[in-house]
Amino acid sequence: MTSLTVVKVGGNLIDNAIELDLFLDAFASLPGKTLLVHGGGKLATNMATRLGIETKMVNGRRITDAENLKLVTMVYAGFVNKNIVAQLQGKGKNAIGLCGCDLNIIQAVKRQHPTIDFGFVGDITEINTKALADLIESSSSLVIAPITHDGKGQLLNTNADTIVTEIAIALSKIYQVKLIYSFEKAGVLKSLENELDVIPELTESLIKKMQEEGSINTGMMPKTDNAVKAAKNGVGEVVIGNLVSIQNKISEGTRVV
């Protein structure tokens, strides 16, 4: 089975030009077939503030009304996506930038919740595995923005951690997938006071315990929940950490098993 490395990069790295450059150097040096899913939350939030558009979050997830949908589509599928693709081309890594409506790669439905109106937030219903695999085989690397669609003409905003998880699960039927949730920390930390004190391995039960104790913050919850789902659904290797540190053998990150 051919190996495929699937990586998600978060907004804090995207907003820092130096850190993003280091990350993309590490990503471009990954061997074999690669796929990158990016967020861009901080940049979208800053832009919303400048434009006077209110930003609301619940448990680390964005409420997306009609104006915020326009904004995140412009930021995520526009500037952030094409900036990453352009930089990868400059590093000799041939890449193509997409979002969920391109080639119908990710379909979703508008989220229904008994008490919270998430607006135009999408929950994934289908990954077009064949279209993704065809692109992976014909292109050097895919760069996917966290905008999906419902198949009826409506764009939707979907959490990037969720997208990368569902893509990794779907493609694990074709490839031997290693999934890396890359962000600015070396891994899931035992204590926020010591950024080198990384938890080397996490299980579902330990994650639940840490969430109950409040030792995993709300922003990390989508990442840990999705990592558990990936590990339980066929993804060969799941890591939360910093891709630069992992590539440079400084840290192996936190493995979720």
- Complete DSSP assignment for 34-82: EEEEE--HHHHHHHHHHHT---EEETTEEEB-HHHHHHHIIIIIIIIHH
Do 75 and 42 contact (CB within 8 A), yes or no? no
CA atoms 95, 103, 4, 72: torsion sign: positive
Tokens 């979703």 correspond to: 108
Q: Among candidates 165, 161, 203, 183, which has minimal Cα distance to 251?
A: 183
**Residues 212-246: b if buried by 16+ CB within 10 A, e if exposed:** eeeebeeebbbbbbbbbbbbeeebbbbbbbbbbbb
- Complete domains list, the chain, with CATH: 3-256 (3.40.1160.10)
Q: Provide the strand spans (E) within the chain.
A: 3-9, 33-38, 56-58, 61-63, 95-98, 106-110, 122-127, 141-144, 147-149, 155-157, 176-182, 201-202, 237-241, 254-256
How confident is the model at residue 60, as a pLDDT? 61
Q: Give the list of residues 6+ apart from residue 70 with CB closer than 8 angstroms, or none.
A: none
Tell me: the pLDDT tens digits for 143-160? 999 999 999 999 999 989
CA distance 60 to 42: 12
Low-confidence ranges of the chain (pLDDT < 50): none
80-100 pLDDT, tens digit per residue, is 999 999 999 999 999 999 999
Predicted local confidence at residue 253, as pLDDT: 93
Residue 13 DSSP SS3: helix
Q: How far apart are CA 51 and CA 39, in angstroms?
A: 20
Sign of CA dihedral 61, 64, 69, 74: negative
